[in-house]
Amino acid sequence: MIFIELFAHFSNLFVWNLVFYFVFRTFALIFIRLSMDSFDMYLSRQMCYAPPLSKFSSIGMAVVIPCFDEPNVCLTVQSLLNCMPPPCNLVVVVVLNAPDYAANSQIKQNEHSYSLLKKMAENCDYYIDIQIIKIYNIPAKEAGAGFARKVGMDYAIRLFHVLENPFGILVSLDADCIVATNYLQKIYAYFSNKMVNTAIIYFEHLLPDSKYETELYEAGMLYELYLRYYALGLQYACFPYPYVTMGSAFAVRADAYVKVGGMNKKQAGEDFYFLHKVFALGGIVKINDTVVYPAIRVSRRVVFGTGPSVLKILNDGCFKTFSVEAFCDLKALFDSVDNLYRIDLCRLNDWFATLPESIVAFLQLSGEYATKLPEINAHCASLKSFRKRFFVWFNAFQIVKYMHFAHTHFFALSNVHFVAFSLLSKMQLLPQKVIITSELVKLYRLLH
């Protein structure tokens, strides 16, 4: 009798487990189909520069590398080949690109890289596929890192679409970087949590080889200090997305990429504009237990970024940036956001009178706040949704506009070493003695 009861009990468990499995599988298939429909819609609006090809029937991750006249791109790819393998197949997409004004020497460098990359593709590891896209004679108004990064990422989206994987991981890297050996495994591990949409990856600028390049090293450290100072300033001001946005140090889930309309074609700052759209989706993580090592070098290709900033530092002998006082004024604004939820016009005027002078002047510049805040309140049923909508309005682009406005009318730009030191002091994070820039950079790295 007891055996019959046990059999009946386990039979019931088996039946319920089977029902649960089929229900879960049905919902999963519906979700994937709906996601693929959004991929269909997105890809129908994008130019296809190369048919999606791979030697694999399943791919979990794609690393995209824009490349124009880069002599060390093979070192970047080799550092990926040297990584410990993740538990999925990987495609490396190198986009060899050139504008219509490219010199013959730059085209030759691209072609040399192409021949070397082809050999690497023929002999790479069992879990890695290397795909090379060549696009030359790009019109000057479109050519740049944004265009090439978009081409590579859209190519990867087409692969994920063909293989029906909306959860695929898109990794952005540059052709002057090397990565730590645990890079691929760590990225995969963080994205195994399906709630994660975006990852900001820890970086340290790669030091020059030669002793005579100490000036270049010091310029690179000042620029890295600026990047980290700005991010910590945003954190101090209580901005919800206080991250360093670098094209060589982020990853995003494929369906999140599609939701925000993909990468833009901006010639510089494409990473900043793209990432702040993705941040609004939530699900952001910082990966601090692996490293991307971008090179320190000079460049005139773009108007801002590592290359032109390092060149400017070398020419000027210093790097001046936004003051701590500006971040303090932003903090006064952001600390008061919760008070704006369901605020009436009378109290709105009272609130406005309590703000710092630089914030008041900036908000008065457009007068938008008087209509925007009631509009945001009208569409929010909770404080949480109000905060989210507020920072969609007063976003990272507004902060950049405010910073330039405030330093035109209220504050002076200051030496980055001085303000970086001052911010740590204000946040009570400063040890007894920090003197040289490299030590200050190390301290900021620890705070990342």
Q: Which carries the bigger pLDDT value, residue 194 or residue 348?
A: 194
**Inter-residue contact 295 to 216 (CB < 8 Å):** no
pLDDT of residue 321: 94
The Cβ of residue 328 has, within 10 Å, a number of other Cβ atoms equal to 16
Cross-strand pairs, 131? 93
**Weakest-pLDDT range from 84-88, 194-198, 304-308, 323-327:** 304-308
pLDDT of residue 301: 64
CA distances from 139 to 98, 99, 102, 301, 425 (A): 9, 6, 11, 15, 48
Instruction: Give residue 74's region: left, alpha or beta (phi > 0; psi -120 to 50).
Output: alpha
* Cα–Cα dist 319/219, whole Å: 8
What tokens appear for 30 in the block? 């519906």
Q: From 68, 64, 92, select the one nearest 78 (Cα to Cα).
A: 92
Mean pLDDT of 138-154: 93
Q: How confident is the model at residue 24 (pLDDT cuts 50, 70, 90)?
A: very low
Residues shown for the chain: 448
pLDDT of residue 10: 56
Tens digits of per-residue pLDDT, 302-329? 656 666 777 787 777 778 999 999 999 9
3-state secondary structure of 18: helix
**Overall CATH class of domain 46-318:** alpha beta
Q: From 418, 279, 386, 401, select the one nearest 330 (Cα to Cα).
A: 401
Q: Which residues have a Cβ under 8 Å from the Cβ of 146 and sit 6 or more positions away?
A: 263, 264, 265, 266, 267, 268, 269, 270
3-state secondary structure of 234: helix
Using the 8-state DSSP alphabet, how is residue 268 labeled? S
% of the chain at pLDDT higher than 90: 63
pLDDT of residue 124: 83
HEC string of 325-346 equals: HHHHHHHHHHHCHHHHCCCCHH
Which helix (H) or strand (E) segment holds residue 65: the answer is strand 61-67
> pTM surpassing 0.75?
yes
pLDDT of residue 212: 47
Judged against a pLDDT cut of 50, whether residue 28 lies above it is answered with: no
pLDDT of residue 23: 44
pLDDT of residue 95: 97
Q: Which carries the bigger pLDDT value, residue 346 or residue 170?
A: 170
Q: How confident is the model at residue 21 (pLDDT cuts 50, 70, 90)?
A: very low
Judged against a pLDDT cut of 60, whether residue 179 lies above it is answered with: yes
Degrees, nearest 5: CA angle 160-257-40: 55
What does the buried/exposed string (b/e) look like for 159-192 if buried means 16 or more CB atoms within 10 Å of the residue's CB? bbbbbebbbbbbbbbbbbbbbbeebbbbbbebbe
Instruction: Give residue 128's region: left, alpha or beta (phi > 0; psi -120 to 50).
Output: beta
Mean pLDDT of the chain: 88
pLDDT of residue 22: 47
pLDDT of residue 171: 98
Tens digits of per-residue pLDDT, 257-306? 999 999 998 877 888 999 999 999 999 999 999 999 998 877 666 656 66
pLDDT of residue 18: 54
What residue ranges do the domains of the chain occupy?
Answer: 1-45, 46-318, 324-409
pLDDT of residue 53: 80
pLDDT of residue 318: 78
Tens digits of per-residue pLDDT, 29-57? 454 555 678 899 999 898 888 888 888 88
* Cα–Cα dist 295/173, whole Å: 12
Tens digits of per-residue pLDDT, 233-260? 999 999 999 999 999 999 999 999 999 9
What phi, psi does 51 have (nearest 5°)? -65, 140
CA distances from 308 to 113, 165, 397, 420 (A): 24, 38, 21, 21
pLDDT of residue 350: 86
Q: How confident is the model at residue 208 (pLDDT cuts 50, 70, 90)?
A: low
Q: Which residues have a Cβ under 8 Å from the Cβ of 195 and sit 6 or more positions away?
A: 283
What tokens appear for 362 in the block? 């900036």
Judged against a pLDDT cut of 90, whether residue 136 lies above it is answered with: yes
Judged against a pLDDT cut of 70, whether residue 2 lies above it is answered with: no
